[in-house]
Structure 1
Amino acid sequence: MSALVLVLGLVLQAQQPAPQPQPPPLRSEGVGGRTITPAHDTYEREFRLTTPAARAELHGFAGCVVGRSRELAIEVLGHDFTTARYRNALRLLARNNERCFSRRRSLSASGLPFAGSLAEQLLSQNPTPLNVRLARAVAEPAPRAFSASDRISLCVVRSVPDDVARLLAAEMGSTEENDAVAALDLAVRACSQGGPRLETPPAGLRAILATAAFRTVQSAAQPSTEARN
């Protein structure tokens, strides 16, 4: 190969159906109404990035992207991830930062793990502990949920900030990560009450909670930012 080709299945294919034109804003997900899977872009039940090494590699790529295009990454994560606008913006963000991926091979992933890694990298830039920021954010209105799985994840990050921060601090694929996921099961079930159960592997849960946590603290920071202007 004469040039690096970075293949992000998350941004190269638009497999998501068009958003529903009528209310409610939460789209139907899952099979038979009993379970739902994250609605982010081209989410796959099997989650292609199954090994800790592959997940860490994408996480490193996301860190470089944030270092080069921080403001654009923040903007992209604020978009409704069920829209073409989001998919196009995420594709552009990856393509504009191909130099961050130094190996001469392709990297394939669905949109959710890349978005989750971007969110984690952005969250890590603030020295204030994440659980503290999430606990403070509860005093502000919650961000809009873009899907049923998003509603659950926003509920979880606002309900158990300590457990969410513990998960995002754990090494990917580690025993600590699995323990943190298990500890979140009760909160996930409570936030799913009255609707279908969220079904996702640990890596998927971590990613949707990361994006929800980022949008939560970002949204909570807006009033104070406006007050200073």
Structure 2
Amino acid sequence: MKTVSARIDGELITAQEGQTVLEAARDHDKYIPTLCYLKGLSATGACRVCMVELAGTDRLLAACTTPLQEGMSIRTTSAKLEEYRKMAVELLLVERNHICSVCASNGRCELQALAQSLEVTHVRYPYNNPRLHVDMSHPRYVLDHNRCILCTRCVRACAELEGAHVWEVSARGISSVLVSDMADDWGNARNCTGCGKCIQACPTGALVEKGFAFPSSEKSSEMIARISATRTIAHHS
């Protein structure tokens, strides 16, 4: 397979042709924060947390969807990027109700962990979070729209790994919500197999299993990568 050479934070690296900036950076132990990205699923660049700087342009690029090309010079850390990432996290926090102390994923939430790592102790913008319902119609799982960051990891896990296509995002802007089947209650979704892949893919407390509360609601997003790898091996065998 062909390779490309580029610089990430000044270090000359070699990566496989077709790899994204994020994949190449992680292969060389360089940290770029993410929320909507999850190994084993397709990348969408929805959360904009993984933005990086490319020499020669003022435009920031999403590392998870930008292919690494020969001769690129990428910067993953800077004052500009840190401020941009803080802003992105703050905007996520003001769009929904993220009161960590009463969330089932408190201490195991990727949004919470990222906010802490970026030292986001408060938000500079007015809260816009609408009053959203909690869907408890499913016999095993709960969907709390108030915790959802619309990363679509559950949508992609259900479609790409389970093939059930239960989830989709409806409407736009502040009105966007996760919907199952024809915007019916989750418990009425005929295509849902109850596999729980969407639960494991969710980075927050939006999707959790019934009967589990902090500190028992631990998720394993690595399961998604293992399932994806198994499917890839089976497909090529």
TM superposition score normalised by structure 2:
0.26
Which one has a bigger Cα radius of gyration? Answer: 2
Q: Name whichever structure is richer in helix by fraction.
A: 1
Q: Structure 1 or 2: larger strand share? A: 2
Between 1 and 2, higher relative CO (CA 8 Å, sep ≥ 6) is seen in 1
